[in-house]
Amino acid sequence: MASDLNKTLSKEYIGLQLWVLIVICLGVVFLVILSISLWLSFRKKSRRANVMLPLTQVPYVSEEIKEIRVDQASANNGNTLNEKFSDKGSEKGLFNVDNGEDSGQSGSFNHVDKDVKGSQPGEEGPTGTVSTYRPSSNPLTAPSPLSGLPEFSRLGWGHWFTLRDLHLATNRFSKDNIIGDGGYGVVYRGNLINGTPVAVKKLLNNPGQADKDFRVEVEAIGHVRHKNLVRLLGYCIEGTQRLLVYEYVNNGNLEQWLRGDMSDKGYLTWEARIKILLGTAKALAYLHEAIEPKVVHRDIKSSNILIDDNFDAKISDFGLAKLLGDGKSYITTRVMGTFGYVAPEYANSGLLNEKSDVYSFGVVLLEAITGRYPIDYGRPQPEVNMVEWLKMMVQLRRSEEVVDPNIETRPSTSALKRALLTALRCVDPDADKRPKMSQVARMLEAEEYPLPREDRRRRRNQSVNSDADTQRKNSDADRSDDPDLRLESRMHHHP
């Protein structure tokens, strides 16, 4: 039987013995099964990878990103510091409505930052103005504007967008989506894949300069959170491209409202102007006094103060910002900024510190009071420089005439004097005499103009040392009932 099997296996077919053919067939079957198994396994892994990763590859990370250092302690202090500079009271009218329609909710996007406190939505009052309520004492729980985006691209403080993401968001950087441009680059309106509207700043592709501008803005506000600062959501680094992605604020800026560009929605009331300036003051106090290193914005002006649907201020454009740390009282830098807003000592010497921002804020406050440009060559010579013109009007005791005629309901005399006195302190030619921004915020919130602490201390010392000085103090107190006399007295410190 064995011999018959051997004979059968030894038969030749196509030149090969049968047993050789059987071995070859078995080998082929084994290889086919192995190949199918490997293919199925690879396909399963590919499907799993496609679920986890977006359609685009992870972009190459420039070495420059390693130079961006985040002050973790500063970031951790954000919530408590926001409480320190939080709003203390409710505001009344926000703007005067020409046609009686509800113009407060002018857009479809109300941004609520999950890390800060917010106001309740505005409601239309019986007089056609929009009112807001006192901010809640409890933090709001709201979805992040980054929710729904691929988790893999989270990197530190923000979101790492790919160039493809931003192409889709801005319709390939369409000209129709441009909302701003300047020496730094172009800003586009866009929508992320999760529906969040954003402002995408595409920095000019200048060798070296784009990286420098990118680092400046990321270092300045990449890790900070404040209700009155435009939030930097993320960035894109691919090749030579440098882009920054901000929350989108869709209710114009302070300059547009003051100049009448938003007149189809009405004009800002006095209460709305003070609310916007108070929010700006609190944000600057946060940058100057609450984080380390402190941030000097260097380009505070009305067009860089955006306004959201609740008429809260949002400081934007940190392209010129400087960091001031390690106990430095000032830094020397090339003079940059906008004509009319630059502090005189900075313009003359290049010495920069936070008091330069205080001066610029004072100019913006005067803009909000008067509705005028800081420098307007279309006016008569004495009125070209707004700050000097206003000092002249106060000296002539004509301060009631400086109020913007577009304000339908004029402020009370005490409210006007308080705002003017605060502005005059901010634009003091002597930088050392300007108040801190936290003091400015308290001045704007006070029912009456607060006497500076150093002045109170000086008067106490004078009272102890000299009866004559005591009599002078009493005389000043008697005169303080007249707001015009107080302003006129203040002007002796403003040559």
Q: Which of 388, 433, 385, 393 is nearest to 417 (CA)?
A: 393
- 487: which strand partners? none
What does the DSSP assignment read for 112-144?
Answer: --TTS--PPPPEE-TTS-EE--PPPSSPP----
Q: Which of 187, 170, 112, 121 is nearest to 145 (CA)?
A: 112
The angle at the Cα of 45, spanning 39 to 47, to the nearest 5 degrees, equals: 100
Element (H, E) at 191: strand 185-191
| 299 catalytic per annotation | yes
Q: Which amino acid makes up residue 197? A: P
Q: Can you tell me the distance from the alpha carbon of 301 to that of 273, in angstroms, rounded to the nearest whole number?
A: 14
Element (H, E) at 238: strand 232-238
391 a known binding residue?
Answer: no
Q: Which of 265, 430, 288 is nearest to 359 (CA)?
A: 430
Q: Which of 315, 152, 185 is nearest to 247 (CA)?
A: 315
Q: Which of 87, 299, 317, 428 is catalytic?
A: 299
Relative to beta strand 158-160, strand 232-238 is parallel
Residue found under tokens 């003070």: 274
Question: Binding site, residues?
Answer: 202
Question: Binding site for ATP, residues?
Answer: 202
Which residues are the active-site residues? 299
